[in-house]
Chain A
Amino acid sequence: MAATETAPAQRDDRLQTSGLVRRLLNRPELGAAAGAIAVWLYFAIRAGDSGFLSKSGTASYLEVAAELGILAVAVSLLMIAGEFDLSIGSIIAASGMTIALTYDQWGWPLPAGIALAVALSLLIGFLNGLLVVRTGLPSFIVTLATLFILAGATIGITRAVTGRTQVGGLAEAGGYDVVHKLFASSIGGFSVSIAWWLGVAAFATWVLLRTRFGNWIFGVGGSNAAARNLGVPVDRVKIMLFMATALAACLVAVIQAVKFGGTDVLRGRGREFEVIIAAVIGGTLLTGGFGSAIGAVFGALIFGMVRQGIIFTGVDADWYQVFLGTMLILAVLVNAYIRRKAAESRR
């Protein structure tokens, strides 16, 4: 009855040949890495002599990429687990304003304000996650609600307390020197935020590929029900990832608040979309279960290069958004193709 398959030797050969092609296709970051090289080459040719290739030019696009990349790496992990976070922009505004207000109103030293902002963002992330896993609502809706609630509350509270929408003067706050060194200094002309970006990406990659938790992230995103059946603590994984994205948003808020010596209630607005696009360009599937933190690094790098490169070429910066949309569509199409190839059954 059970007549099966071909001889083992023949079958191994078949596996090997398809394995090589597939293994390349199965690297989620492949497309983004190729894209980053292409974009770099384009601007190197178009704007190489107007400063894109110079050290300061490189430092400027890396700094833009770093702030976006910290967020994109965290969001990638969340998206691999099958969830979204639209509230990160608002968390940036709320965290930054927490730091600024605690100094402005009560004269808190910066480290204390930062500690409060970290605690607040972790709480928001926890609530986001709890709401998603308890209600079963799409995280798109839950975090869209959080986006508006937080954004409104930040503006409302700031205006009620200070009568303004911008709060500055952080350079006079206690502990500014240490904090500035940690988050906003530059090393040999390069912003320290780049080191944070790479550090966060390295840590995320390690978690994703070399820990049990990382395996759970893939499992939860690949099939919630199957992962639960196998004993993966699905809810805990999701809540922790929402907390991680909130924490990443807080880190960016700190970097920006210290860099500018103050903050604005609108800081971070619209960031959530750029971040999701960067993650998708990085090869992370919108539907979860597949992706990488390294891909998000390349996705953010593409963003940084284009945003700064457009300035160097002298093209009107409005075209940046056209590029954003185009890249998103292309990335999704490429991802869909790769996913189909990867999941294709061998008959």
Chain B
Amino acid sequence: MAGKRTINIPLNRVEGDLDISVEIEGGVVTDAWCSGTMYRGFEKILIGRGALDGLVITPRICGICSTAHLMCASLALDMIGEVTPPPDAVRVRNIALMTEKIQSDMRHGFLMFTADFVNPAYKECDLYEEAVERFEPFKGVAVIEVIKETKKILEIVAILGGQWPHSSFMVPGGVASIPNQNDLVKCRLLLKQYRNWYEQRILGCTIERWLEVKSVNDLDQWLETCDSHRESHLGFYIRYARLIGLDRIGMGHDTFISFGALEFPVGTSLPMNGNQPRLVSAGIKHNGTIDLFENEKVSEHVTYSWFDEVDGGSHPMDGKTEPYATGYEGHKYSWSKAPRYDDKPAETGPLAEQIVGNNPLFNDLLETYGASVFTRQLARLIRPATLMPSMKLWLTEIFPDCVFYIPPGEIINGEGFGLTQVARGALGHWVRIEDSKIAHYQIISPTTWNLSPRDANGIRGPAEEALRGTEIKDIDNPVELGHIIRSFDACLVCTVHAFSKDRKSRIRI
């Protein structure tokens, strides 16, 4: 592999509309470009519509994260309507969002990410046969289990919100549906069943036992002290991921962002998380320190994106979405903008949540392995363990005869934003209402942070940076690149899902 070579990789197992280009020299990736290949224009569609229309339209942005978009749309309107939702409405909103996350984490983990574990590149590995047994598409034990076990859990959102996906039950001031006692009992049962499966098959231990793991040393001891830990799907992930070297690839800029999520409802018996008003902390970790998150420091650059040029970055309350693609722009290469915090790229997702939350295990993992593919994916696989106990508690704290809605002030003019942490990371909606109509709507999704193109300063996005330096063993089967991109759980859109004759013609890794 002497000399420089550029290869283009359509990653159809990411979403079908992300192309990765890498430049390879001497078998090592020397540069990378992540290109979103589809313009959707939701932010334009929303302009001129009724003030509340974001509650209906934005959940349609994604078939997987629809509750997440609804949460952000509602939070922005809460701010504009100057209303604080009552505690039980906060609980209902939180539980719905958490449900979406714990389902998505398992589906991504064992239907998408570990599919690469059975790549022929690993045929000679000691554990390959066991990997096939667990993760082979359509057949693997873990694959079948995950499909069966995850089909029910989203019923919690349907019970609380009337439907999933694309529900619109969160409204400024609270929620529009009031769960009765039977609803709550059913939600608790669904959660209990999911937790039992997660503990028995994914962790191989109770959540309480897993949460005792606070260092790399603890992790190694946990793995070795009990067969059920070692033989669980998580235990196998840890052993196999290290065996194939996922702890040595995929480090990005080492800057992490979390918008924070899951506000503590007033009066909850859940212990507070230090001074943080939310279960998932907000903040930025950069150069070894965790700083408070400041909304004013968020911006989006479009220098390398197919949008009307502006100098530097614009705050999403000022930014515009004006597509501009004549084919002659030269340097522009993505329909994704480049979000930046304090003009720097930042990685978001489950790992960022753990790092910003100062979790000792992940601090130690970061020190030991860096923000590698192994560490990033481990954070996703164990996230349900950090959420389910709080879900259970909040479900028991809801009383049907309480207040679930407080009428907001009139939403005629005003600005607001809704920020939260969703399955793939930091999600934000920035909204301006004028004369009861949407005058401005900007959305920054987690994948825009992670898969961003270069910014006005020419700085690569987190995934682009994570690809650099990767050694490619077989240029015809660059499985290493697939591991890295998929560890960010990239999601560019839900698009046309028609059954197409040509679908099988795409190249993939």
A, B co-complexed: no
